[in-house]
Structure 1
């Protein structure tokens, strides 16, 4: 039966050009599409193939290409987001986003969606959308705890007229729900120092913090990829701070993959008993230093467990990823672990690997989407946050946070030094010491959250509620 597009809810998706941002927008698109919502997904040519691979085929979805403006030195028309660029050049994509405004106006004028969901960088979108009679919703890909700590309006209270320092950022913003975590400060000194860039001007323009503030001020509602069950205190705090309508998508549990794991991985993993392999990976855009790689490798070796270690390196690394890996690994390491260790550079099918029966532990960077994938696949969590929102996710998930479903690798406060003994201790807690505390409680909590995430009725309710809220907004009820 043909769909009546005149009554069908139509949403345009416009994420920032980084896969860690594009992926949650794809996940939400798939969920909304399955509930009858028409999706127009805006992305650059370099991302189209990946979006096509991950969008569930449906007559409700289409991909709309956006052209990279030719006037930005160092950006090719087919750049595939931040992963194609050295970290120092990634900010050029924010400039590119700003220069797409004429294209976006034309595209939205033609599409006429009811809503456009936009990311942190597009602070100008609410005004543009309003001119066209379209409601703009800012969709944050970060956890509520990260947003509540870093981007609320009172975050910079008392630091006007001077650079933001680590001393400023180790203190929570006024009213932050500190009772929701234990163990002193929420973040360490080196962590505060590492995300101070959020408050610095980008390419001579607004800071990311200012962009977010303008985007939130102008939008019709905020959309968060979370739920009250997992982050209630932080969501409530944000509601007080921003005084905006909030829509919660839930944690966007991915659908089980339809394809099978490539024999390259499946045959190696099949060599080991169920739930014994440590899968260690940090996503496509989280990079470790040589010293961190060395200590990580030695720590995995000390566990005595089989492991799959996946590393990535910046686009401009001298000699390429494999050459840098050889410079980083301890002498003789590959030979010593050849019967139980697999080391790989580059992309891997993460969801399929996590689902393999031999994987028992996931040692990772604590990206929020990866947390959800690991929990639904019954993996124990060893948390090693490296940058920005990962620190907050780790506090949420770890033994001092709300979820208490994983153990964090201990890093030194001042400089974040990572030692092999700390790797061993974290993995041992969730893989060996499972009958004593805190290992026992962590495993029980991991199972509790897994059950929650696998409850399809509960997860579908988040999306049906979102659709209901958007219909009310479309009809002027909210």
Structure 2
């Protein structure tokens, strides 16, 4: 006798962390589920609604539920997302998110979904379980990062900061001896034992969120990170369902990107350096200038999208002396938004200088540009290790023991990957082409989502 739960559509509630870099991949997954007939209730603050509603490809099946973010002392009035605050205030925003629990629980009582997907809100399983709702902890960061920093084998002691030596050591059973942290970079992972909300650390919150779930889901694929996913599953004793990259579908709108496409089209194929560091990476002014001078020294055309550095009101104000005049007609530096996926698909772009955030990591693997990595935060550093040392598809910019790069190290990294005759360029180009072929194969992403749906249905089966 067939199981009816294996055929029917289901209803998913989504409650992602209040950062656009988390809400966006949740919505991409929601669009993929809705394309298969499933309903999605997406919970977000009002300020995020204006940014995401145009990316809802199935408004008939995806419903946005706006909630109020309570004020917490120390947060600027009106704070609703991580983009509104410096990274140092993140713990306060987490506390504000936790205070939405009553709003969320009341809504679940009304909507009664089959599943609720969450990441940072570790209390979601306690709300969902009494209502008979399956709680899926959905991680939109690399499995390799989770496996090295957020597994029980790490044995983080509450209230104690991990030392640099402890952070540099991989946990027992970690499936790679290549993806490791060097020197002072381990300090970038100290956030795992720091406060993340009221009376709880990042490690305690994240491991509780994963431990209390009915299943774990990760935005990755087994071809890239299968060994890390297996390790996480063993550590937590839970199934790990993979969604694949779930990247957005190519945009059909030309209005927002026309100026950039037109500008890029004046340059030769594969000649342009594109540099973008995401919405939260803010450089110090000296590093901002070293980066620009390093790109200038390549004598290639460029498009740089960076936030103004600390202490500057605009990118132009922070230019090195004479930079604007010397590079006029050859390069553009903007502090505003650019359509990164569309730019990476342009034939003129030959090198992508990235901070190696997880979204940018996927986009870089699937584009034809050569890759140069300038990671800043802990998970970005681990992503960079995966690409540069495990997969050997990219080059990471050399830095001093204090974590600083120079214009010369920037120039050398870019030229090493763009030189078609150099050994480094040949190696990364060959490896990158192999991975791009895998990830862009027909039905690769859709097959992952189909499998993910089957896995979700399997845990809805009634017990005998």
TM-score (structure 2 length as normaliser): 0.94
Change in CA separation of 1:73 and 1:289 when aligned onto 2, cut-off 3 Å: closer
What is the aligned partner in structure 2 of residue 332 from structure 1? 322
User: For residues 116-131 of structure 1, what are the structure 2 equivalents within 5 Å?
Assistant: 116-120=116-120, 122-131=121-130
2:160 paired with 1:162: yes
Report how far residue 161 of structure 1 moved.
Answer: 6.2
2:18 paired with 1:28: no
Structure 1, 188-197 or 220-229: larger mean CA deviation: 188-197
2:419 paired with 1:404: no
2:444 paired with 1:435: no
Does the residue aligned with 1:278 lie in a helix, a strand or coil?
Answer: strand
What is the aligned partner in structure 2 of residue 415 from structure 1? 402
2:13 paired with 1:16: no
Change in CA separation of 1:186 and 1:379 when aligned onto 2, cut-off 3 Å: same
RMSD: 2.1
Change in CA separation of 1:354 and 1:128 when aligned onto 2, cut-off 3 Å: same
2:187 equivalent among 183, 188, 193: 193
Change in CA separation of 1:164 and 1:279 when aligned onto 2, cut-off 3 Å: same
TM-score (structure 1 length as normaliser): 0.91
Report how far residue 71 of structure 1 moved.
Answer: 5.2
Does the residue aligned with 1:29 lie in a helix, a strand or coil?
Answer: helix
Question: Residue by residue, what CA displacement relative to the aligned partner does 1:118-138 show, whole Å, maximum 9, x if unpaired?
Answer: 012x11111111011111111
What is the aligned partner in structure 2 of residue 449 from structure 1? 435
What is the aligned partner in structure 2 of residue 111 from structure 1? 111
What is the aligned partner in structure 2 of residue 385 from structure 1? 375
User: For residues 50-129 of structure 1, what are the structure 2 equivalents within 5 Å?
Assistant: 50-70=51-71, 72-77=73-78, 79-120=79-120, 122-129=121-128
What is the aligned partner in structure 1 of residue 237 from structure 2? 243
Does the residue aligned with 1:42 lie in a helix, a strand or coil?
Answer: strand
Does the residue aligned with 2:459 lie in a helix, a strand or coil?
Answer: helix
Where structure 1 has 5 or more consecutive residues not aligned to the other structure, the ranges are none
Report how far residue 477 of structure 1 moved.
Answer: 6.1
Q: Find the aligned partners of 2:209 and 2:409 in 1 and give their Cα distance.
A: 40
- Aligned partners of 2:308 and 2:318 also within 8 Å: no
What is the aligned partner in structure 1 of residue 348 from structure 2? 358
2:298 paired with 1:298: no
- Aligned partners of 1:33 and 1:58 also within 8 Å: no
Change in CA separation of 1:277 and 1:468 when aligned onto 2, cut-off 3 Å: same
Q: Find the aligned partners of 1:253 and 1:453 in 2 and give their Cα distance.
A: 11
Aligned length: 458
Question: Residue by residue, what CA displacement relative to the aligned partner does 1:255-313 show, whole Å, maximum 9, x if unpaired?
Answer: 11111253432232122111110000100111111121111111101111101111114
Q: Find the aligned partners of 1:397 and 1:266 in 2 and give their Cα distance.
A: 28
